[in-house]
Amino acid sequence: MRMLHTRRESIKDMLDSSGFVNVQSLVNRFQVSSETIRRDLEYLEREGVVKRIHGGAVSIRPRTAESAYHTRQQLRPGEKLAIAQAAAELIEDGDTVLLAPGTTALEVAGFLRRRRDLTVITNSLPAAMELANCPTVELFCLGGRVRGDDFSTTGITAVEHLGMFNASKLVLGIGGITPECGLTDPHMDEAGLLRAFIDKAQCVIGMADHSKFGTVSVYNVCPAHRLTHLITDSGTPWDQCQPYRDLGVQVHVVDPC
């Protein structure tokens, strides 16, 4: 019964984070049958938490932009901090860095204040604010339509603005990752912009805590082998990391702070 409660609470956390869950990704993550997951979603639907759709469910709980972002900030803070620090350690003085949005990316921005002669291009408004007064960082913030749930810019304007730049490294938080589907994201515009980011970067540094493994979101970002580095926490089982090593990705496993 305790495992049942924990699994359903974890599904609620995923819905709070992305607004959508996929039956097959939940099966892969929790190692249970699809019938078990469907019963979980039926239960959550009766609770008024989700609306079931073909292949998964969407959240129907009201979320304000501020509370949704704040909720994500509070999830697994020790894992996020350790992952962000490891990502920042891969950035060297003089690099030109694309920094994708997200709460882990905001932690990365804090560590980047220690670098010298750094150029940072980002569509994350919180990350831009974190770096705005840093004298050792030349900062560019992409224009575009503002997504209130992530405080980031997106859309065709952001893509066109990105066309002005080239970057040595990209740091991005991963919405979902599997060896078969690669990186995925629950937002269409964000996935499109992330694809453009990846095309611009020589080195792609992906960040994913253990909850993102086995998750498949709606929109494709890139194949898993496009990652240069994949940073996760020690809550990710070894057997879930190995397929990415087999694809040639450098996998870094860190202990939560």
| Tokens of residue 143, six digits | 């224009």
E strand map for 23-110: 50-53, 56-59, 96-99
Q: Over the stretch 208-246, which tens digit does the pLDDT of each residue have?
A: 999 899 888 889 999 999 999 999 999 999 999 999 999
Distance CA 169, CA 98 (A): 6
Judged on CB neighbours under 10 Å (0-12, 13-18, 19+), 202 is exposed
Q: Between the CA of residue 215 and those of 20, 136, 237, what are the distances in Å?
A: 11, 37, 14
Look at residue 71 in the predicted model and tell me its pLDDT: 64
What is the rounded average pLDDT of the residues 169-196? Answer: 93
48 pLDDT more than 70:
yes
What is the rounded average pLDDT of the residues 2-16? Answer: 78
Q: Over the stretch 193-208, which tens digit does the pLDDT of each residue have?
A: 999 999 999 999 999 9
Look at residue 67 in the predicted model and tell me its pLDDT: 47
pTM over 0.85: no
Residue-averaged pLDDT of the chain: 89
Domains, the chain, with CATH or none: 2-62 (1.10.10.10), 70-254 (3.40.50.1360)
More confident residue, 238 or 22: 238
Per-residue confidence band for 69, with pLDDT thresholds at 50, 70 and 90: low
Strand order in the sheet with 50-53: 20-22, 56-59, 50-53
Look at residue 1 in the predicted model and tell me its pLDDT: 60
Which residues make Cβ contacts (< 8 Å) with residue 128, sequence separation at least 6? 122, 139, 141
74 pLDDT more than 70:
no
